[in-house]
Chain A
Amino acid sequence: MNWAGLYAVLSGVNRHSTAIGRIWLSVIFIFRIMVLVVAAESVWGDEKSAFTCNTQQPGCNSVCYDHFFPISHIRLWALQLILVTTPALLVAMHVAYQQHQEKKLLMMTGHGDAKHLEEVKKHKIRIAGSLWWTYVFSVVFRLLFEAVFMYIFYMIYPGYQMVRLVKCEAYPCPNTVDCFVSRPTEKTIFTVFMLVTSSICIVLNMAELVYLVVRACARRGRRNSNPSSGKGSFYGHKLSEYKQNEINQLLTEQDGSLKDMLRRNPGLQEKGDRCSAC
């Protein structure tokens, strides 16, 4: 299980996201995970081996490194990315549950053949009802995790800037010892880059939250002004959808057989009354 595995898992969620959710997912995978794997990991690769202290005292190097870098940036970012992407799985689980209920309903009403069951899997589920709440919670959790990790970063590494020199006096270092960090400028550049993309993701999440809330309010307003439309239950609505799908299918099949008929009998091409089933 690696980043590619996570990508495979989350691509499925993408189908049921809003447009902003898909943009967010692309930003996460291309500008954060990919940059982390392809570039940042090699910058931090030699962080311990190239951390040099101005002393020959054995153990001083290790102790000072551990004192100033309790957890490496790379590991913090990896944790952040994993925690930030996993609330989307709540949505995936809810969608799977809804699809399971739909399949049960189909079997109960006698439409349990393979074709209808396949259609359940293929069609996109609207973000409404309880799924809306799940989706909103997942976005809120994402925001929370992003904010918490940015705060942790700031606490552990104040100012987001990687210093060139740290002065260390932990035992067993004799007195105060100068220790030099490897590639501080490059690390600062990447820290700022990851910080900026993290802020962009926070903005996208907030925009998505606002969009969902506005959509829900608009839907509620429409329902209040037109009370007859939204009264049907979820399953009643689904039943009428299936009936409509059947009618559409019949129409397309007949279209195929009609074209055969027209080819054989060109005289059938006449204008007639409008169809009442359409």
Chain B
Amino acid sequence: MDWGSLHTILGGVNKHSTSIGKIWLTVLFIFRIMILVVAAERVWGDEQDDFVCNTLQPGCKNVCYDHFFPISHIRLWALQLIFVSTPALLVAMHVAYRRHEKKRQFRKGDKKCEYKDIEEIRSQRFRIEGSLWWTYTSSIFFRLIFEAVFMYAFYFMYDGFRMPRLMKCNAWPCPNTVDCFVSRPTEKTVFTIFMIAVSSICILLNVAELCYLLTKFFLRRSKKAGNAKHHPNHENKEETKQNEMNELISDSCQNTVIGFSSS
């Protein structure tokens, strides 16, 4: 179970996302997960081995490293990416639930005859409206919260986003104050800033998607209100005609069955 499996799981969710959601997913996988796996992990790979303190006192290096790096950047990013991508699974679960309900209706032999067969239900794309809209919006909201929380945690733990070259440590068992040197500080700063920038882009995309969904919701509501004013029956002429035709066809279905069973 690794990032590839997560990609497979979330690829399915992609079908039911808005276009901004699809862009967000692409940015997540290419500019964050892939950079993490392909580049950042190498940069932080020797973070403890090459963390050198100016002392021969055994244990001082371990303690100083632990004091300045309570949790490594790489692990924080990994956790952030896992938490940020999982709200999309709420949407996947909701879509699966809807599909299941439609399949049940179809199997009961519902007179609507909406779908030709079960395969069509499986491949159908649901519109983001009704309860699915609420699930989708909540998932974006949670994504935003997780992104913000992790960015704050980063800033809080590492006093800004810069990796210092030298740290002065006086935790026991280090004798007095000891100079400790971090490995590859500039490269780490570059990657930290890169990941923060991409994280901000993802936050912007999420905010844009939220605005887009809200706008669509209000537009749809005003259209429905407008329709209700002009057509108080809540049905326009086309819908009525279509309903009649559907009824005729389903009744003819039944007539033919009688015809075949009697012959």
A34 near B58 (CB under 8 angstroms)? no
B173 near A34 (CB under 8 angstroms)? no
Determine whether A1 belongs to the interface, using a CB cutoff of 8 Å to chain B. Answer: no
- Tell me the A57-103 residues at the B interface (CB within 8 Å): none
Spot the interface stretch: A214-222, A225-233, A265-273: A265-273
Q: A185 contacts which chain B residues (CB < 8 A)?
A: 66, 70-71
Q: A184 contacts which chain B residues (CB < 8 A)?
A: 66
Q: B63 contacts which chain A residues (CB < 8 A)?
A: 164-165, 180
Q: B66 contacts which chain A residues (CB < 8 A)?
A: 164, 182-186
Residue of A29, A193, A275 with highest tally of chain B CB at under 10 A: A275
The total of chain B residues at the interface (CB under 8 A) is: 48
B5 near A38 (CB under 8 angstroms)? no
A54-B173, A184-B66, A186-B72 as given contacts; A35 in contact with B256, CB under 8 Å? no
A43-B75, A183-B48 as given contacts; A30 in contact with B86, CB under 8 Å? yes
Tell me, in angstroms, the Cα distance from A213 to B72 when the chains sit together: 45
A43-B72, A181-B62 as given contacts; A38 in contact with B2, CB under 8 Å? yes
Q: How far is the CB of B251 from chain A (nearest CB, A)?
A: 5
- Tell me the B235-255 residues at the A interface (CB within 8 Å): 248-249, 251-255
Determine whether B193 belongs to the interface, using a CB cutoff of 8 Å to chain A. Answer: no
- Tell me the B71-104 residues at the A interface (CB within 8 Å): 71-72, 74-75, 78-79, 82, 86, 89, 93, 97
A277 near B58 (CB under 8 angstroms)? no
Q: A37 contacts which chain B residues (CB < 8 A)?
A: 1-2
Tell me, in angstroms, the Cα distance from A11 to B61 when the chains sit together: 45
B74 near A26 (CB under 8 angstroms)? no
Tell me, in angstroms, the Cα distance from A22 to B94 when the chains sit together: 13
Contact among B49, B89, B109, B258 with A26 in the assembled complex (CB-CB below 8 Å)? B89
B58 near A52 (CB under 8 angstroms)? yes
Secondary structure of the A contact surface, majority rule: helix
Contact among B1, B251, B253 with A34 in the assembled complex (CB-CB below 8 Å)? B1
Tell me, in angstroms, the Cα distance from A100 to B107 when the chains sit together: 23
Interface range, A side: 35 or more
Determine whether B175 belongs to the interface, using a CB cutoff of 8 Å to chain A. Answer: no
A29-B1, A34-B2, A274-B254 as given contacts; A39 in contact with B75, CB under 8 Å? yes
Tell me, in angstroms, the Cα distance from A3 to B96 when the chains sit together: 25
Tell me, in angstroms, the Cα distance from A92 to B91 when the chains sit together: 27
Q: How far is the CB of A263 from chain B (nearest CB, A)?
A: 12
Q: B59 contacts which chain A residues (CB < 8 A)?
A: 52-54, 165, 178-180
Spot the interface stretch: A143-151, A198-206, A250-258: A250-258
- Identify the closest chain A residue to B76 (Cβ): A39
Determine whether A211 belongs to the interface, using a CB cutoff of 8 Å to chain B. Answer: no
- Identify the closest chain A residue to B107 (Cβ): A248
Q: B97 contacts which chain A residues (CB < 8 A)?
A: 19
- Tell me the B142-184 residues at the A interface (CB within 8 Å): 173
B253 near A255 (CB under 8 angstroms)? yes
B62 near A30 (CB under 8 angstroms)? no
Tell me, in angstroms, the Cα distance from A251 to B249 when the chains sit together: 13
A180-B58, A254-B260 as given contacts; A34 in contact with B252, CB under 8 Å? no
Contact among A19, A34, A248 with B82 in the assembled complex (CB-CB below 8 Å)? A34
9 additional contacts (CB under 8 A) given A38-B78, A186-B66, A261-B256 = A19-B97, A34-B2, A34-B6, A35-B79, A183-B69, A185-B71, A257-B256, A269-B252, A270-B255
**Sample (26) of A-B pairs whose CB atoms are under 8 Å apart:** A3-B1, A19-B97, A26-B89, A34-B82, A35-B78, A35-B82, A39-B74, A46-B48, A46-B49, A50-B48, A52-B61, A54-B173, A164-B66, A179-B59, A181-B62, A185-B66, A186-B66, A189-B70, A248-B107, A248-B109, A251-B257, A272-B251, A273-B255, A273-B258, A275-B257, A278-B257
Which 10 residue pairs spanning A and B have beta carbons closest together?
A275-B254, A180-B59, A180-B62, A54-B58, A185-B70, A3-B1, A272-B255, A33-B1, A39-B78, A39-B75
Give the interface of A toward B (CB within 8 A).
Answer: 3-4, 6-7, 19, 22-23, 26, 29-31, 33-35, 37-39, 42-43, 46, 50, 52-55, 164-165, 178-186, 189-190, 193, 248, 250-252, 254-255, 257-259, 261-262, 268-278
